[in-house]
Amino acid sequence: MNCPECDAKIKIPDDASVGEIISCPDCGSDFEIASKNGSVCELKHAEKVGEDWGE
């Protein structure tokens, strides 16, 4: 599918799951897989790293 930001081609691995983060190889934007139906994925902008993120 194409990057919602720069329209470059983004390859989503077959085993990628909802909630995983995909980066555009061209513009570097991060997207979260919001839904997946077979090979059709819906992407949304990934959350930025928060101050309380971590283990």
Partner 1 sequence: MPKVCIVFDRVRVEEKMLEEKAIELGHDTKMIDAKITQISTESKKNNFDFGDVVIERCVSYFRGLHFTACLEFLDVPVVNKFEVANNCGNKMLTSLLLKKHNVPTPKTYFAFSSEAALEILDKEGYPLVIKPIIGSWGRGVMPLKDRDTADAIVEVRELSDGPLDRIYYLQEMVKRPPRDIRAIAVGGNVIAAMYRTSRGFKTNIALGAEPISCEITKELEDLCIKASQAVGGGILGIDIMEDEKHGLVVHEINNTVEFKGLAKVAKRNIPKEMIEYAVTSAIR
Q: What is the binding site for partner 1 (CB under 8 A)?
A: 17-21, 32, 46-47, 50-55
Instruction: State the minimum distance, in angstroms, from the CB of residue 53 to partner 1.
Output: 5
CA–CA dist 55, 3 (Å, integer)? 30
Which lies closer to partner 1 via its Cβ, residue 7 or residue 47? 47
Which lies closer to partner 1 via its Cβ, residue 7 or residue 18? 18
- For 14, other C-beta atoms within 10 Å of its C-beta total 7
Q: Which amino acid is at 45?
A: H
Which lies closer to partner 1 via its Cβ, residue 40 or residue 51? 51
Spacing of C-alpha 13 from chain mean position: 11
